[in-house]
Chains A and B, each alone.
Chain A
Amino acid sequence: MTTPDLRTELVLEERPTGRATRLSAATRRLQYFREGGLVVAILLTGTIFALINSTFVDVQNLTNIASQISFIGVLAVSMTFVIITGEIDLSVGSMVAVAAVVFGTLLTDGVPLWAAIVLTLLAGCGMGAVNGALSIVLRVPTIIITLGMLSAYRGLADEVANGYPLGNYSKTGWFWAIGDQRLFGHIPYDALVLLVFALGSGYVLRRTRTGLHVYAMGSDRRAAERAGLHVNRIRLGVLVFNGLAAGIAALLAVTQAQTADPNLGTGYELEAIAAVIIGGAKLAGGSGTVLASVFGLLLIGMIQNGLVIVGVSIYLLVVVSGLVVIAAVAIDRFFVRRREATMSG
């Protein structure tokens, strides 16, 4: 099956002309590459931080960044599906909190680890299904439903945990190593979880009929309906998938912090949405890729880490962080415009 990005892939196969230097050929390739602008922004950001403080490019710090973005990275991947369909899920951070305290409560009650993990993931799917069902049955836009559920799930997390972090259970075994240890001493296991999740999701989005349906729904909902697609089924599906991702993100965050806290997940929805938008997806739907969203989050993670490393004041950090994100998006849009101009020309 073809994908909406086929044109980009074909352009990538072009070879530089005889007069083009190696550098200009690389630049052209980058320009045609959908995520090229982001790659430039990431390289530029990394270079600036490294020039100011070389600690930034220490292997230990780079792997720290990979670990630090893992749990929100999972959310950014699933949010890519949601945004491509033209929807927004604002409740995903609160779903992370509920999933985390469900997991903590189950462990505290002596439920076996494997069962607690399965039930936590099911709880995530269930919350996503509730979002989707409410939106469909009440015929209210997903953004409104999830705005309400943002608050409802947060309150539920507090209620389940009685406002207190749950950490009174055994923390030994393979599961706890995911957030605490590294493969070969360097590669964080939680970053590997993100990698596998992103690869699987990216495959579904680019190479399967399901992915095509997701793009089709976001590109033109009415046309998709007329073509016989069950758009509500697709909407429910991506919201359940987002719930599943919330469950996975909760498990990753709990393995890192070693505590199941109802405060987990506050503001994660905005970071996940920001990553997807920085990755070039349109809020109106129909565009976006998993790779671009992961790059978008990587850029955010690098900026947040780098500003601390170079010693920006804690209050200025928030200001600079926002401005750098705008600059990164501007660079990306510049490359997108050039690519589109080249293609149309």
Chain B
Amino acid sequence: MHSLFSSRSHSRPGALLGLLAAVGLVLAAAAQSGVRSPAGVSGKAADPTIALVLDDLTNPVELPLRRGAEDAAKKYGFTLKVVGPSPATAQNQISLMQDLQAQKVDGIVILPIDSTALVPAINSAVGAGVAVATTEIDAPDSNRAFYYFGGSPPLLQGKMQADRVAAYFKSKKAKGTINFMVTSCLPTVTGQQDRRSGFEKEVAQLNKRNKFKLKEIGFANTTTDPAKNLVNIQNLYTAKGSKLQVAYAMCGPDTQNWGTVLRRASNKKILVAGYDWLPGTLDLIGQGWVRWAMGSSLYNEGLYTLTTMYQHLANGKALPSGVTHGTSIYATKANLEQIRKSPDVTAAGG
């Protein structure tokens, strides 16, 4: 008798066919996973197919953007394909763009991982007659129709954060040197590079006119893995916590983990100027461990760009050109309840 665990070799065509059938079922189910028009009308004008190309399928802060895009698809009844590179590299995103062009989608909204590297792929799609727009992150040198950002541009965000930090210390009548650190969870992404650049340039300007000097004592590349990110932040705190006054956390996981590390150390002396409105971050703001976290409306990015693209493809409305953006706002203890009710938080299950 041959048990399942027998090591003797013999062919198992039934098992192999069963596996292939299972793979086929998974593929069939996956093919149905796009958000479909409730009307189900086919044809380019009535039911255009629009792709949303994310820069990272697992970036937690982009769920509201997907939700906004899905809400637009449900409202107007078009087919939405949400794709993203895995792992999150520019080359993988370029491949996705080529695939979508081959599939002859009608429009693409993309969050380019790399503003420069994606230019040829975007131009190729535009050359093939596909309408392309960018959101969250721009590719200004490409032939994309328009760029929409649901908050202040990343360079300005960095500047705004520096101004707010300086205003805080000015209100405390600070003098001498104020040490700060910058942490990032995806440092090669253009948006985070811009935030850092905007912050550092503004600090240089502020130092010329303030009685205190902001001094950078470190930059750390963390990761989106929250447990590993926490390890990194913990080690940074051990190494530099005693002389640190400001932690400028440029993305969600490191904002949350700076707050967690300070809570565990019962240290409210370090000011965390954070980013993103993850549920955990909002809790830490409420408890006083994170002073503030800047947020942009990614929900609006999804809703606006997909709606605009649909109106163009289905109703012939002209696409806007250039750059349009909203204004980033800060979540603080004072407006926490209001922030919690915003679609950017509720869409993320916060």
A residues near B (Cβ < 8 Å) are 53, 55, 58, 60-61, 64, 68, 71, 108, 133-134, 136-139, 154-155, 158, 162-168, 180, 225, 230-233, 236, 253, 256-259, 261-267, 304-305, 308-311, 314-315
Q: Which of B187-243 contact A (CB under 8 A)?
A: 218-221, 223-232, 234-236, 238-239
Interface residue stretch chosen among B6-14, B109-117, B134-142, B310-318: B6-14
Interface size on B, residues (CB 8 A): 46
Output the least CB separation between B150 and chain A (Å).
Answer: 18
Main secondary structure of the interface of A (DSSP, over half): helix
- List A contacts of B224 (CB < 8 A): 261, 263
- List A contacts of B4 (CB < 8 A): 133, 136-137, 232
Question: B121 at the A/B interface (Cβ < 8 Å)?
Answer: no
| Complex Cα–Cα for A263 and B278 (A) | 15
Give 25 pairs: A residue, B residue, CB < 8 Å, sorted on A. Answer: A53-B239, A68-B231, A137-B4, A138-B12, A158-B58, A163-B66, A164-B349, A165-B60, A165-B280, A167-B280, A168-B349, A230-B5, A230-B7, A232-B6, A253-B227, A256-B227, A257-B226, A259-B278, A264-B225, A264-B226, A264-B227, A304-B235, A308-B236, A308-B238, A315-B221
Contact A257 B227 (CB under 8 A): yes
| Complex Cα–Cα for A180 and B187 (A) | 28
Question: B350 at the A/B interface (Cβ < 8 Å)?
Answer: yes
Give the nearest-CB partner of A60 in chain B. B238
Contact A308 B348 (CB under 8 A): no
- List B contacts of A265 (CB < 8 A): 225
| Complex Cα–Cα for A311 and B260 (A) | 22
| Complex Cα–Cα for A259 and B260 (A) | 11
Contact B239 A165 (CB under 8 A): no
Contact A263 B225 (CB under 8 A): yes
Contact B15 A163 (CB under 8 A): no
| Complex Cα–Cα for A162 and B82 (A) | 12
Give the nearest-CB partner of A318 in chain B. B221
Output the least CB separation between A85 and chain B (Å).
Answer: 13
Give the nearest-CB partner of A233 in chain B. B5
Q: A71-B227, A231-B7 are in contact. List 7 more A-B contacts (CB 8 A).
A: A68-B231, A138-B15, A163-B60, A230-B5, A257-B257, A258-B260, A304-B231
| Complex Cα–Cα for A61 and B234 (A) | 9
Give the nearest-CB partner of A265 in chain B. B225
| Complex Cα–Cα for A264 and B227 (A) | 7
Output the least CB separation between A256 and chain B (Å).
Answer: 6
Contact B239 A68 (CB under 8 A): no
Output the least CB separation between A308 and chain B (Å).
Answer: 4
The 7 closest A-B pairs by CB, nearest first: A257-B226, A253-B227, A308-B235, A233-B5, A232-B5, A164-B63, A68-B231
| Complex Cα–Cα for A256 and B257 (A) | 10
Question: B19 at the A/B interface (Cβ < 8 Å)?
Answer: yes
Contact B280 A259 (CB under 8 A): yes
Output the least CB separation between A259 and chain B (Å).
Answer: 5
Give the nearest-CB partner of A262 in chain B. B58
Contact B226 A166 (CB under 8 A): no
- List B contacts of A264 (CB < 8 A): 225-227
Contact B63 A162 (CB under 8 A): yes
